[in-house]
Amino acid sequence: MQSPDTSGANTIRHDWSEDEVTALFQTPFNDLVFRAQSLYRQFFDPNAIQLSTLLNIKTGGCPEDCAYCPQSARYATGLNAEPLMDIAEVKSAAVQAREKGASRFCMGAAWRSPKDRDLDQVIEMIRVVKDQGLEACATLGMLTREQADKLKSAGLDFYNHNLDTSEAFYETIISTRTYQDRLDTLEAVREAGMKVCCGGIVGMGEGLADRVQMLITLANLPSHPESVPINLLVRVEGTPLEDQADLDPFDMVRMIAVARIMMPASYVRLSAGRNEMTDELQALCFLAGANSVFYGEKLLTTGNPEFARDQSLFRRLGLKATH
Ligand code: SAM
Ligand code: DTB
Ligand code: SF4
């Protein structure tokens, strides 16, 4: 293998080809991780980690049919649908997140898209989060440009909306909205001037070509998403993907490494699935260029590592939280 390009030139690219990204995935593991880590050091402090805390502000009862999702009303996952959370609860969760050391607070809602009445309440929540000195992120489903403008004016820093997988594999996972709908929302968020958080899920039965295509779609956008969450499927009983086969853990590391190489200035987040990962696998993901995690004992409906476990992991690895 050639030595990594350490000049920093030509590393932010938007012209990735299928052949070259496939070749990256097929690079011997040590070469791939070395290259990702070398590039990573040109853009970031290698011993810093960004911590985002999630809060599910509207649980369950979602009309969409995303095959991975415990919050779809179509699947019997035993989850009780709840109304939009009240502002006091959001405030106490934001206070706790800040006290525990998170820098960003991300509010998720099980909606296809927000109604205007809902949006007014979310705007109040954004204020409460910003008052704590936290960055605010939300993931509320599809947005129109007008809705994106409203959220931007309210001070929302990031909007999360994932591609989830490749366009080709997408139709086996979701039928209630199109890939183009997702791209349109991402464009509305970008045009409104918010930072984009967009990634996907591995371990849903997709092939290598699907991982390649998803990363190409992300990296060939006019601007790279500032934040790229890579989720490992959390297999929830009652969802169509409950019996999905295990993913080879090294494929998770490869996915992180290739995302890091293709979008070197972006935060790559080791997202859902950490609760089922060993500390050693997480450390390999950090070595491959992951520099952000969801931090807090719950994701949206499923478990995430306890604070004490994460704090111990970060201490043992000498990782410091970014502020
Ligand atoms: N309802 C909104 C939407 O779908 O756009 C926002 C919340 S939704 C739960 C956000 C993302 O969480 C999904 O796009 C998917 O990438 C991720 N996700 C949901 N369930 C998951 C699971 N079981 N395993 C891994 N990731 C999951
Ligand atoms: C993202 O990429 N992953 C988060 C967040 N964005 C909203 C959600 C993960 C959800 C995992 C399943 C659950 O807890 O319901
Ligand atoms: Fe609804 Fe979002 Fe879950 Fe899809 S991923 S079912 S849109 S909450």
pLDDT along the chain (323 residues), means of 10: 50 95 98 98 97 98 97 96 96 97 97 96 97 97 98 98 98 97 98 98 98 98 98 98 98 98 98 98 98 97 97 98 90
Is the distance from the beta carbon of residue 62 to the nearest atom of ligand 3 less than 6 Å?
yes
Is 106 part of the annotated catalytic residue set? yes
Is 198 part of the annotated catalytic residue set? no
How many Cβ atoms are within 10 Å of 265's Cβ, its own excluded? 12
Nearest to 298 by CA among 38, 53, 22: 53
Active-site hit among 197, 198, 211, 235: 197
Give the DSSP per-residue string, 71-82. TBTTS---PPP-
Nearest to 230 by CA among 172, 285, 190, 186: 285
**Alpha carbon 220 to chain centroid distance?**
18
Ligand 1 centroid to Cα of residue 240, in Å, is: 14
Looking at the CA of residue 229, tell me the nearest atom of ligand 1: 16
Q: What ligand has the least distance to the C-alpha of 235?
A: 1
Is the distance from the beta carbon of residue 66 to the nearest atom of ligand 3 less than 6 Å?
yes
Looking at the CA of residue 299, tell me the nearest atom of ligand 2: 14
Q: What is the pLDDT of residue 7?
A: 47
Ligand 3 centroid to Cα of residue 113, in Å, is: 10
Choose which residue among 58, 66, 177 to substitute to test ligand 3 binding: the one with the highest number of ligand atoms within 8 A of its C-beta.
Answer: 66
Is the distance from the beta carbon of residue 71 to the nearest atom of ligand 3 less than 6 Å?
yes
Ligand 3 centroid to Cα of residue 61, in Å, is: 9
How many Cβ atoms are within 10 Å of 230's Cβ, its own excluded? 26
User: Could you give the CA distance from residue 185 to residue 190 in angstroms, rounded to a whole number?
Assistant: 9
Q: What is the DSSP letter of 275?
A: G
Is the distance from the beta carbon of residue 201 to the nearest atom of ligand 1 less than 6 Å?
yes
User: Could you give the CA distance from residue 60 to residue 212 in angstroms, rounded to a whole number?
Assistant: 31
Ligand 2 centroid to Cα of residue 300, in Å, is: 6
SS3 content of the chain, % helix, strand, coil (to 5): 40, 15, 45
Provide the token pair at 289.
């260029």
Provide the token pair at 209.
């070509």
Provide the token pair at 238.
């009652």
Residues 6+ apart with CB under 8 A from 199: 162, 163, 218, 225, 227, 228, 229, 230, 231, 259, 269, 271
Choose which residue among 59, 74, 112, 139 to substitute to test ligand 1 binding: the one with the highest number of ligand atoms within 8 A of its C-beta.
Answer: 139
pTM for the whole thing? 0.96
User: Could you give the CA distance from residue 146 to residue 4 in angstroms, rounded to a whole number?
Assistant: 44
Burial of residue 99 (CB within 10 Å: 0-12, 13-18, 19+) is exposed
Is the distance from the beta carbon of residue 299 to the nearest atom of ligand 3 less than 6 Å?
no
Q: What is the pLDDT of residue 11?
A: 85
Q: What ligand has the least distance to the C-alpha of 71?
A: 3
H or E, element range at 158: strand 158-160
Active-site hit among 106, 182, 260, 285: 106
Active-site hit among 35, 104, 137, 254: 137
Ligand 2 binding pocket (C-beta < 6 A) is: 54, 70, 108, 139, 160, 162, 199, 229, 231, 234, 271-272, 299-302
